[in-house]
Structure 1
Amino acid sequence: MIKKAFDRKYLPVAIAGVVLAADVPIAVAMDSVMQIEEVVITARKRDETLQDIPVTVQALDSDTLEAYATREFSDLNDQISGLSLYNTGSAFPNVTLRGIQGGSTNSAADTSVAIDLNGIPHSTPQLLRFSMFDVQSVEVLKGPQALYFGKNSPAGVIALATKDPTEEFYSEVQVGYENAAESKFGHVILSGPLNENWGARAGIRHMETEGYFDNEWESAQAGDDTGPNYDETVFVGTLQGTFDKGDVTFKVYSGDRSGGFHTLNQIIHCTDNTDISNPGDDCKLNDSFSTEGFVNDKSLAPSRFDDDKPSHDYQLAQYSMAINYELDDIWSVRSVTGFVDMENRFFGGLAGTPSNNPAFSFALASELSSEQISQEFRLSGALGDVDLMVGAYVDDRELVSEGALWIAEDTKVVPDSVAIVEGESWSVFAQADFDLTENLELSVGARYTDEDRSFEGRNYESLALGGPLVYLEGDIQVTEPKLNYTDLSPEVSLTWHATESLTLFASYREGFKSGGYDASPQDFVGSVASTHPALGGDPVQIHYDAEQVKGFELGAKMVLADNTLRLNASVFAYDYEDLQQPSVFSDGSSVVTRTVNAAEAEILGAELDLLWLTPVEGLTVTGNITFLDNTYKSYVSQCNEYQIFVEPGNCNVDIDNDLSTDAGGLLAGTGFDAQDRDGDPLRNAPDYSGSIGFNFFFQAEDGIRDKLNMMASFSDSYSADRRNTPWAEQDAYWLMNAGLGVYAEDGGWSVDLITKNLTDEVVLVNSGGLARSGDSSTPEAQAGVRNAPRQVMLQFTFRPDVLF
């Protein structure tokens, strides 16, 4: 089935593109323009050129990142085809690649798009909350990845590497200002040798921002009136030693972002403003959002939190050690050890005091923390003409999620729930590369994975049992307190180096993502009565199954026109089973977040990216485009509010309110509770998207040069809501970024004027339905999160070691 759809829809297009590109030369003289330099990447954990490997990967070096003013991870959306990354998730940022997304609502779920920093795989995408700083390279591998990044990834990998020490002393100071959010930012970097064997590099970046949007909550105690307002500090450090037989590298990354608002949800649809809790909201996607007021009295705030205002604090620290050692001229060994510590704290304000016991006060808050330690060993070498790589990987992690409601009595603060999810994983992997002919290479590899997950937790609930308010406490009883998943994921690729400038490849890949538990605090609110042993409660089901993917990919990589045009294309087809989907729904009185298995999905598509060094001196053009045909198969999901209350004809599948499915926990009395999603597109998966841009460097006068760049990205329409409501339909759009700079030819200083979203386009990036706080029989309110508005940045960069 995969192959039939694959051939029918995309293979003729890809072949035609390759033939057309090969037959239409661009007449550019060798001595009139620069040639494209070879891009060396480590996507397969060894140095290879981008054009030679049988993997669909887009790689950005530090020069490219700087040229397009890549500051936030969301800036990668313009440069990486098929990527959608926004810092809007309730637990973690939303990351979608080729239409596959996971892990944004459930704090204990693995992300479908794996994150790798300096060789350390992260179990959560927390890193993407912070600004990009002192990054040497970004490599985005697309499609299932099983062999090279410690853990299986069903959708792809975003691999980042921070910069190593320089061979000579280097210093950099930068300061800047951005107008829309009134952001002030700056950094300092020092780098250089310590002696003949050791070098060091350290950098620190700080930013303070007041926020892009206005808070329209009509309350005298609304707190901050803009958001997201926060302070951020990022530190990056490296100590590296190089010796005759190898090298050792110690790296530290630390990020802290704290400030006012946890989310930027705004109401984007309602029948009238009485449908929502804030009558001042205009129910439109614009420059305002609504955050509820709260008790503005620090004396009532729980002692664990420092402020009486809505606030958040995101922290991440990673420590890594990489050792490379050459056993002889053929064999080498690599060891990578990593420790990752993550913490999220959210305080939503005080919710009041119960009348029957004034000693208690309530606060909407939550806390999430995790620790992860990992170790990988890899042996690489050759037996005759066969290149070999074998290795092993282990990790151990613990995640603690503390509930959404805090109860304070004097100085005692307890959560309403504590969930602890522990995971242990080990895997072994191997790959062999065979030279079938001088130009034909066969690569065969596989990873065997064994993962254990366990869950324990306690509920604490305040109940008025015919008298004063009392605590009821008990263990959370679950149907499966221990889980085990095993998987063998093979990869096979055939690579033909047809000419020095043309490489063709075909690959078959399988991927896997472990199942697990929901640890989001909302899952346990009010559930003591059903799970407390003394009340005879039954165990609850909060686990979900593993996700599986398999499919094919064909690609062509070519360098044309006297090495001035690089053109890479691929077509792909993958089938996903038990696709894990983030789920947020309301039962009319509370909001619940879960991860659910959404049966099957079929992913078909084609991609193209190019780099052209034009005949005009200093002018470089880049571009990319992705075509997708992503559809659910055999998937029954929750109905959206539009189907239930406006046009209920398609809300016609009765599953008896089964909480173990994606359609469970719906409004009672509707008659039906689910919709058949077979054939529907996946969320945030437009039929086509891409970008085109240019960089132009030119001489202004002796010793001074100018630079001009522009990037225009585009997207077809898509649904931003997992339940496909028409209220969350985003129309096709274009976004434009531009920059103008003046810099010294010796690199001693530069001044840059940078604009993002030049035309001030409003784009819906995330959405979900909301139940009304009043009459719950007609909850026609839809929430959403938009992109950042127009931003204008001015920054000054100085390099004292050059100037002085």
Structure 2
Amino acid sequence: MLCSKMMTLACSTAAIAITCPASAQDAATPPTNATETSSASVGIEDIVVTAQRRSENLQDVPIAVTAFSADAISTARIQSFNDLATRIPGFSVNTFSQSRANPALRGGSTSLSAPGAEQAIGLFIDDVYFGGSGDFEIDLFDVERIEVLKGPQGTLFGRNTTGGLINVVTKTPTQELQAQGEVSMGNYDYFQVRGYLAGGLTDTLAGSIAFTSSDRDGTSFNSFTGNRVDTINRSSVRGKLAWAPSDSVNIVLGAGYSRVNETAPARDAIFTGVPIENQALLATGFVPDNDPRVVQMWTDGSYKSEQFTASLHVTKELGDANLLSITSYRNLRTQQSPISLAGVTTPVYDFGEPRELDAASQEFRYISDYSGPFNFVGGVFLYYANESRDLNGIAQWEENTVGGYFQSLTLCPLQNPDELVVSQACKDNYASLFEPSNFRVFQRTKTKSASAFLQGNYELTDSLKLTLGGRYTYDKKSATGFSSGDLEFFWHPADILVDDSESWGQFTYRAAVDWKVTDDILLYASRSTGFRSGAYELTQSDPALSAVPVGPEKVLSHEVGFKSRLFNDMIQFNVAVFHAKYTDLQFFVNTGDASVTTNAGQATVKGIEIDAVVAPVRGVTLSAAYSYQKGSSKGIPVQAEIADGTPPAGTIPHTIVLGADFEHEFANGSAVFLHGDFTHKSRYGLEFNDTPQFRSGVKSMINGSIGYRFANKMELRIWGKNLTNENVVTYGQNFWFAFYSLPTALANPDVITKTAQPRYADPRTFGATLSFKF
């Protein structure tokens, strides 16, 4: 009964939201470049960001940036990077599992997941670098601001990125007493509690503590085990101490801990093209159904993690400059059992990839504040990481499948290559090739990096400014590892042993000019470069390639932009046009009969990003954002089976995000508020290939909330996510070769393009949140 009533309220919220086209950015979700509104004033308030490593009004920064304030994050319930992805045009995240998430923006993406491989989109949380594929499965809580910088960031941030950067700033305590807390309940037995307490401890010392804990039953049902999967069970805590021993020195010490204990993701097996009786015996016991939230996996799987982070910020004011020292440490340990990739009742090709990471960084930064026309930011950044992945796999290639045939071609010397089925001689003499097998691929990569950077701006006139910046980065990576266990053609055709190292040096730069046409209009143009460091990937079909590192990937980007505030801050309209050219592409390719990591070819992505915010009257904010991206590639090695013209992963042709917020405050200080947002993303590739199973998109996703704030600052909010209940693919699998014989596949080509094992984003969720704040 409770869920039924909550469902009615959530759907009513969606209906109300639709009647108000567009949205407020602060009050909510949609990505607009400066957005804070208040029911007490008319117009769009400013957001201060640190995209150029100094505090600036977002509208004065000559970079395309999407920023979310603390209120916007809370209203939109942005609690993960998947939540963030639906609200930023052109941005996407594909999630293979909790240990592997790959974000993409402006053509910058990666499919490499080995230890030491770095993302095209960098993540910094309070200046602590998170750069691996297992680093994006974290809670966003206690957040003061999120800044998404678009395009390569090759000068001011510690690790270079090619597609963009996410800068998360959490709250720092002051002497003012602050307390807030909330309890949320929803469908799938969702329960979450969050809290924050901060204030002065002495005249010079302030402290804070923040925590979040979330628990939810799985959104999919595994009919084979009788359990729910895609569960949530995680908690995090973060504490800070801010000490001001003198008027010119500030010290902030932060530490955080998080834990996760969840099932594996659900994968829905889809078989089409030929009748079920013509499929391989491996799928015996599988009963076709049309419900994507009912799966038949042989195991529920498990994922556990513990993470500890610590940082120390010391700021010394020098009168006309600030000298900043940032020290950080991060420790991550994960456990993951083999997870079902094929979504059937027996193992086909499944693996888990537990990871361990110890990383430390030290940065010294000098930020000038001179009275003259020239100012700059410069410094050095040192980084060390020791990361390992212990991949453990289970594979079974039935002799009457295409997988069994490739198994025989690879490992059975008696196989006749002219035959389209496994030879009888291989069946008789190499029977173990077609039995369940276990294998292990262990890799450890140590990264040592040092860089020096300097970026300055010179005011040519009162309204015209020139910016020039550069960074030189030196990276050295050492890889050790091995593979062992039963042989199989896909990832373990032979035992390997690797002990190798390689180093790279790269100079990157940024040049920009901006013209403040009026106090409310900014024009700018920029040219910038970035790179992703090289990496080792031991999990390749050709063992000889495992000891050969993939070299750096480089990007050259041009951007022209326009930012404006009009009609007394009632309208904000921003446009950015970009062209990015990537060379020496890094990518991992699964061709169906092989796995290859390579470093070749080039890609071009160009597009336009438009966002607008309108605050016509007090308490009403409407927003709209649009992104167009067009990508192509060429020069990819033939063995990768990527045709010329294929766009890089995550290149979304069209994205539309609309939002609306309304708030009315009553005379007694209470208020009622509404929020709604709409997202559409046209079809795009999750990976760098043309495989249909790796296509995704969002037709029309609607989120909404309605709430009431009492005069005593208590607040009740009814909310709903994905109210249209879309099945959005966050990752695809294509194991057709594990279920059909080669003659069957040749006679029924549809089995290749239509057999799939997708992973979906959350379905419709809804609930209620009771909170307080003072």
- TM category (shorter chain) comes to 0.7 to 0.9
- Displacement of 1:486 in angstroms is 0.8
> Does structure 1 residue 706 correspond to structure 2 residue 667?
no
Aligned to 1:445: 469
Distance 2:112 2:340 in 1: 26
- Displacement of 1:160 in angstroms is 0.2
Q: Choose from 378, 385, 391 the match for 2:379.
A: 391
Aligned to 1:189: 196
Aligned pairs, how many? 669
Aligned to 1:543: 549
- Displacement of 1:127 in angstroms is 4.1
Query: Is the CA contact 2:115–2:445 (under 8 Å) kept in the aligned structure 1?
Result: no
- Displacement of 1:187 in angstroms is 1.8
> 1:326–1:116: structure 2 CA closer, same or farther, 3 Å change rule?
same
> Does structure 1 residue 205 correspond to structure 2 residue 212?
yes
Aligned to 1:794: 768
Aligned to 1:235: 237
> 1:116–1:284: structure 2 CA closer, same or farther, 3 Å change rule?
farther
> 1:326–1:31: structure 2 CA closer, same or farther, 3 Å change rule?
closer
Task: Return the letter of the residue paired with 1:241.
Answer: W
Aligned to 1:246: 249
Aligned to 2:628: 627
Distance 1:349 1:762 in 2: 21
> 1:31–1:422: structure 2 CA closer, same or farther, 3 Å change rule?
closer
Aligned to 1:737: 703
Query: Is the CA contact 2:321–2:368 (under 8 Å) kept in the aligned structure 1?
Result: yes
- Displacement of 1:34 in angstroms is 1.6
Q: Which has the higher contact order (CA 8 A, sep 6+)?
A: 2
Query: Is the CA contact 1:285–1:762 (under 8 Å) kept in the aligned structure 2?
Result: no
- Displacement of 1:730 in angstroms is 4.2
Work out the percentage of aligned pairs sharing the same amino acid: 21
- Displacement of 1:701 in angstroms is 6.8
- Displacement of 1:62 in angstroms is 0.1
Query: Is the CA contact 1:269–1:727 (under 8 Å) kept in the aligned structure 2?
Result: no
Task: Return the letter of the residue paired with 2:315.
Answer: N
Distance 1:574 1:503 in 2: 22
Task: Return the letter of the residue paired with 2:625.
Answer: N
Aligned to 1:264: 266
Taking the TM superposition and a 5 Å limit, the aligned residue runs for 1:109-120 are 109-120=117-128
**C-alpha distance after superposition, 1:197-223 (max 9, x if no partner):** 111110111111111112243xxxx2x
Distance 2:59 2:570 in 1: 14
**C-alpha distance after superposition, 1:85-109 (max 9, x if no partner):** 3543474213111243215643431
Aligned to 1:758: 723
Taking the TM superposition and a 5 Å limit, the aligned residue runs for 1:565-580 are 565-580=571-586
Q: Choose from 591, 595, 598 the match for 1:596.
A: 598
- Displacement of 1:366 in angstroms is 3.8
Distance 1:721 1:125 in 2: 14
**C-alpha distance after superposition, 1:727-763 (max 9, x if no partner):** 554466111001011112342x111111001111222
Taking the TM superposition and a 5 Å limit, the aligned residue runs for 1:764-775 are 764-775=729-740
Task: Return the letter of the residue paired with 2:381.
Answer: Y
Distance 2:40 2:387 in 1: 58
**C-alpha distance after superposition, 1:306-327 (max 9, x if no partner):** xxx6211133221111111012
> Does structure 1 residue 287 correspond to structure 2 residue 293?
yes
Distance 1:209 1:765 in 2: 19
- Displacement of 1:609 in angstroms is 1.4
Task: Return the letter of the residue paired with 2:689.
Answer: R
What is the TM-score when the length of structure 2 is the normalising length? 0.81
> 1:91–1:523: structure 2 CA closer, same or farther, 3 Å change rule?
farther
Task: Return the letter of the residue paired with 1:320.
Answer: S
Query: Is the CA contact 1:690–1:715 (under 8 Å) kept in the aligned structure 2?
Result: yes
Aligned to 1:489: 508
Task: Return the letter of the residue paired with 1:101.
Answer: S
Task: Return the letter of the residue paired with 2:509.
Answer: P
Task: Return the letter of the residue paired with 2:465.
Answer: E
> 1:215–1:598: structure 2 CA closer, same or farther, 3 Å change rule?
farther
Name the SS of the counterpart of 1:517 in structure 2.
Answer: coil
**C-alpha distance after superposition, 1:113-148 (max 9, x if no partner):** 000010122222544312211111000000000122
Aligned to 1:347: 337
**C-alpha distance after superposition, 1:487-546 (max 9, x if no partner):** 110100001011000011000001111111115xx548xx9xx7xxxxxxx674452111
- Displacement of 1:167 in angstroms is 3.0
Name the SS of the counterpart of 1:128 in structure 2.
Answer: coil
Distance 1:444 1:508 in 2: 10
Aligned to 2:654: 688
Q: Which runs of 5+ in 1 are unaligned?
A: 1-29, 294-308, 352-361, 408-413, 464-471, 531-537, 637-654, 656-660, 664-673
Q: Choose from 453, 456, 459 the match for 1:432.
A: 456
What is the TM-score when the length of structure 1 is the normalising length? 0.78
Q: Choose from 722, 743, 751 the match for 2:688.
A: 722
**C-alpha distance after superposition, 1:467-493 (max 9, x if no partner):** xxxxx9986146xx1111111101000
Aligned to 2:619: 618
> 1:698–1:32: structure 2 CA closer, same or farther, 3 Å change rule?
closer
Task: Return the letter of the residue paired with 2:530.
Answer: G
Name the SS of the counterpart of 2:269 in structure 1.
Answer: strand
Aligned to 1:379: 366
Aligned to 2:414: none
Distance 2:352 2:576 in 1: 46
- Displacement of 1:462 in angstroms is 6.0
> 1:727–1:771: structure 2 CA closer, same or farther, 3 Å change rule?
closer
Distance 2:727 2:306 in 1: 30
Distance 1:158 1:607 in 2: 17
> 1:39–1:796: structure 2 CA closer, same or farther, 3 Å change rule?
same
Query: Is the CA contact 2:511–2:527 (under 8 Å) kept in the aligned structure 1?
Result: yes
**C-alpha distance after superposition, 1:30-67 (max 9, x if no partner):** 99952322211111111111011111111111011112
Distance 1:363 1:500 in 2: 58
Aligned to 1:10: none
